[in-house]
Structure 1
Amino acid sequence: MSSSSKAWVKPALAAAVIAGLGFAAYTSLNSAPAAPQVTFTGIKGERITPADLRGKVVMVNFWATSCASCVAEMPEMVDTYNKFKGQGLEFIAVAMKYDPPNYVVNFTETRQLPFKVALDITGEAAKAYGDVSLTPTTFVIDKDGKIIKRYVGKPEFAALHALLAKALKG
């Protein structure tokens, strides 16, 4: 084989390497990260473990009683939970570590929140979820335990409902 007939080998090899790298980058960008394996502590001291949530679509909402946006979105979060709980949605409202536990309990009771409410006394849960510091921040986790959406601020609820409906069917 002459050198001119081998001229295609290097460009073909380069193209194959570039295509492989492109595919690897595409799949890594499009594969949802796994939700942290966090055990939450509910306001009555109960433990909410990753095993309790396995196989379910879960919303984890980081909030605080001192956060006006959090308080404003809570009725819509309640409506969202009530709409989808019969289809298997779990919802955990995680109060930030700076939120006094008695404020969280009072808020939960006076507003009759129907979902699980947890205290993040040490800040470990917020840290595990990527150092959450802005509230509200909400994560939607699919049945496989992958984070499929992160909302910082109030979600657009129609889009959230569409996402939940799709995840709950899957």
Structure 2
Amino acid sequence: MKDNPGMKHQSSGASRRNVILGAGAAAAVAGMGLALWRWEPKAVMDASHHPVWSGQFETPSGEGLRMSTFHGKPLLLNFWATWCPPCVDELPMIDAFWREHALNGHQVVALAIDQPSAVRRFLDRHPLGFSVGMAGLAGTELAKSLGNAAGGLPFTVFFKADGSIWRQKMGQLTKDDLIQWRAAAV
């Protein structure tokens, strides 16, 4: 029987294609792993003495918002922006949570990584009951110092009453996140 030269060529082409596809798949898996690692919140040393507690921000109405006034009670600190769809989507849920649990000592502060004029326009259309501060670009650095290595939004830090961090979350919050924090925050 004669060898079929076309078959050998097809076989080596398929083999080469499989090697290329395998290498591509391995690169994709490695890239996803690296991305997930970068987006995973990092540990923060001794959060009860973190510079966040000495920070002061301007509110949309121009008043001062001193973070030290929130120390000593559970605090949900949310970093957001008006141009961030998941940030905007989670704000009504956070506001409803705050309205329901504020009397129990649960506090919420949202720091806007945004232009003050955009935040004011947004809040005119969608008022929030909890405190909002204008963090601007400095808020990105503050979020990074609280474990947001990638600088993405939304980013939330859940503090216990003693000022320690219970949890950090990169991405949109869920009702379950809030229920778990309420139970663990005391």
TM-score higher than 0.5: yes
Amino acid at match of 1:125: G
Q: Would the aligned equivalents of 1:80 and 1:161 in 2 still touch at CA under 8 Å?
A: no
Distance 1:113 1:55 in 2: 23
Q: CA RMSD in A?
A: 2.2
Counterpart amino acid of residue 128 in structure 1: L
2:143 equivalent in structure 1: 129
Residues 112, 139 of structure 2: 8 Å contact kept: no
From 33, 58, 62, the counterpart of 1:41: 58
For residues 109 and 88 of structure 1, what CA distance do their matches in structure 2 show? 27
Q: Percent identity?
A: 25
2:167 corresponds in structure 1 to 149
Q: Structure 2-normalised TM-score?
A: 0.65
Q: CA deviation at 1:162?
A: 2.4
Partner of 1:4: none
TM-score, normalised to structure 1's length? 0.71
| Structure with a larger share of its residues in helix | 2
Q: Give the C-alpha shift of residue 51 in structure 1.
A: 2.6
Give 1:110 deviation, angstroms.
1.4
> What is the deviation of 1:117?
0.9
| Unpaired stretches in structure 1, ≥5 consecutive residues | 1-28
SS at match of 2:144: coil
1:113 corresponds, among 113, 122, 128, to 128
Match status 1:93 vs 2:110 = yes
**Higher alpha-carbon Rg:** 2
Confirm or deny: 8 A CA contact 2:110 2:132 kept in the other structure.
Answer: yes
Q: How many residues are paired up? A: 137
1:54 pairs with 2:71? yes
Give, in whole Å, the separation in 2 of the partners of 1:33 and 1:101.
Answer: 28
Question: Following superposition, which runs of at least 4 residues in structure 1 exceed 3 angstroms of deviation?
Answer: 31-35
The code of the aligned residue for 1:158 comes to D
